[in-house]
Chain A
Amino acid sequence: TPVCKWKTDALTNSCSFYCQAPGGIATPQVYAQLLVLYLLHNDMNNARYLWKRIPQAIKSANLELTAVWAVGQRIWQRDFPGIYSAIAAHQWSENILPVMEALRETTRRRAYGLVAQAYTSIMAEDFAAFVGYSVEDAVKGVVSQGWQADPATRMVMPQKPDPPPVSLVPNEQQLARLTDYVAFLEN
């Protein structure tokens, strides 16, 4: 039987699924879990190669595994509306459901961030498709965050996001480093 453990990486605060299977082949459930975790971390490279090495027999026999990959394909194509519909299209098992819901939320966050960064004005319908909400809900949500919306033109004007806070280096450390550099360059 395969042995599977969760491993939390304290540095990146992320979970990686560690799996060791004698015979080198895991169960479909394990494959599905690993695949969906790669998707959650937007690690499409590892997701694609994982899909390639899953034996064909397991792929054909497993609806849920194929459904996870369908979501992955949408992510690979950067088809935001497709991602939401692929997630909604399947009834996920209790192992996969929480990860899929997390994936949907990270996709939304990514969509908001991208629209704010890339657009000075965007059609309300396009924006709603990006974030997987109805036009009404999508617009209501961002107006409360300070974005502008013009019902006449049906345009939404994103607010540029605040820059991330900067961490400062203490001055003594800086001075010490500069001293090291000068010493190095002069020798």
Chain B
Amino acid sequence: MASALEQFVNNVRQLSAQGQMTQLCELINKSGELLAKNLSHLDTVLGALDIQEHSLGVLAVLFVKFSMPNIPDFETLFSQVQLFISTCNGEHIRYCPYDTFLSLLRMVLMHLFLSQPLRGVGILKLAIDKMQINTNQLTSVHADLCQLCLLAKCFKPVLPFLELDMMDICKENGAYDAKHFLCYYYYGGMIYTGLKNFERALYFYEQVLNEDPKRAIYHIFKPLSNAYHELAQVYATNNPAELRSQVNKHSETFTRDNNTGLVKQCLSSLYKKNIQRLTKTFLTLSLQDMASRVQLSGPQEAEKYVLHMIEDGEIYASINQKDGMVCFHDNPEKYNNPAMLHKIDQEMLKCIELDEKLKSMDQEITVNPQFVQKSMGTQEDDVGSKTSSYS
């Protein structure tokens, strides 16, 4: 091994052992060229370093190897990266060149994105695990994981992350950007839309649109999404024929935006909505009558709709084929049974937990020296007493 490289290895070992993180970071940052010039010896360097003890050194080598325009043996390098991410020292990574770590990750992903996106899932999950201080902390890699799963059309791996409430953001030494937050919620919304969990999808999309700067942009984008606004307006009239003609009018736009599937679901949801509205006026209704009121093709289609809605819990009714009638019922839930009590218990517990979490976050802020200084400073300017916005 060239002596400059030997020097590098020794320095890495020494600084790591002594816990001299700042010097180690500086060394790493200055060694890029040296490592790039000695490509053929890099495997020897790796052999001389321990993944756990010299995580930053190993990271530097892997980064250089992956930055090369030609990677002779992708599979070996990929397994090296995998091994590194699973066994590296999380503390060291969190301390130092975050953007190197993230860049390495994203370089690996670039190689996988088009051909085999699913393979990247494992290393992204490992990376999140290494970066997070707790499972409710949002990292920039969460967005990458969502994007990867969307590309791979496989959502199971990312669902456990999406289901958690994020309470904190991983600063990543300044590498964390608003873009990562927005992408996470946008991609997450798309995933939930694909899984037809529309309520949660809506919640995620709202996170994207509720940022103040984004509201200003909304006014700019509104005229560009005319087709959708018109669709919403027509939907509110409850008229299926009108809705259908609206869908046809803008079908090119919807197809171009890949939203045809969702638009079709809007149409069938209008039929369901109109059937539900009938329950407010009627106790029983013939299937023929229902079909003409709701503008379905006939009693058979009406029966099918009602049957599906019963199965999905969207309506309480029973079908009497003998007389061709539907009977609407009240919600049989009387809210007086142990199952309901259990449900209320669960909701109460969630509220109590959330309250405790908020109290502790409030506590953290009130003893934060910067906050104290700022609020003391403001009080000197105000004549009257200022009620804290947090109490």
Contacts and interface: CB of A to CB of B under 8 A. Distances in A.
Contacts of A166: 337-339
B319 A120 contact: yes
Contact of A180 (B115, B317, B352): B352
Interface string B284-308: 0000000000000000000000111
Nearest to B319: A119
B329 to A, nearest CB: 11
B347 to A, nearest CB: 11
Given A46-B156, A53-B152, A168-B338, A118 B310 contact: yes
Interface stretch (B211-219, B220-228, B244-252, B320-328): B320-328
B73 to A, nearest CB: 14
Contacts of B376: none
B342 A121 contact: no
A123 B321 contact: yes
A88 B19 CA distance: 68
B285 to A, nearest CB: 14
Contacts of B345: 177
B154 A118 contact: no
Contacts of A6: none
B153 A52 contact: yes
Interface string A98-134: 0000000000000000100111111100100000000
A120 B327 contact: yes
Contacts, number: 74
A153 B322 contact: yes
B118 A121 contact: no
Contacts of A181: 348
Interface in B256-311: 306-308, 310-311
Interface residues of B, number: 35
A49 B155 contact: yes
Contacts of A177: 345, 348
B320 A121 contact: yes
A122 B156 CA distance: 40
Contacts of A123: 321
A153 B118 CA distance: 57
A30 interface: no
Contacts of A50: 154
| Most chain B CB neighbours (cut-off 10 Å) among A46, A78, A120, A177 | A120
Nearest to B337: A166
A155 interface: yes
Contacts of B311: 78, 114, 117-118
Interface residues of A, number: 30
B145 to A, nearest CB: 16
Given A78-B308, A184-B352, A184-B355, A120 B318 contact: yes
A119 B326 CA distance: 9
Contacts of B308: 78
A61 interface: no
A14 interface: no
A122 B355 contact: no
A122 B319 contact: yes
Nearest to B327: A120
B342 A169 contact: yes
Given A24-B116, A53-B152, A45 B196 contact: yes
Interface in A41-70: 45-46, 49-50, 52-53
B116 A117 contact: no
Interface string A3-25: 00000000000000000000111
Nearest to B310: A118
B194 interface: yes
A46 B197 CA distance: 13
B265 to A, nearest CB: 13
A167 interface: yes
A49 B322 contact: no
Contact of B321 (A52, A119, A174): A119
Interface of A: 23-25, 45-46, 49-50, 52-53, 78, 114, 117-123, 126, 153, 155, 166-169, 174, 177, 180-181, 184
20 contacts: A24-B118, A45-B194, A45-B195, A46-B155, A49-B194, A50-B154, A114-B311, A117-B310, A117-B311, A118-B306, A118-B307, A118-B310, A119-B318, A119-B319, A120-B318, A153-B322, A166-B338, A169-B341, A177-B348, A184-B348
Given A50-B154, A169-B341, A184-B348, 11 more contacts: A25-B116, A45-B194, A45-B196, A46-B155, A49-B155, A53-B118, A119-B318, A119-B321, A121-B320, A155-B322, A166-B337
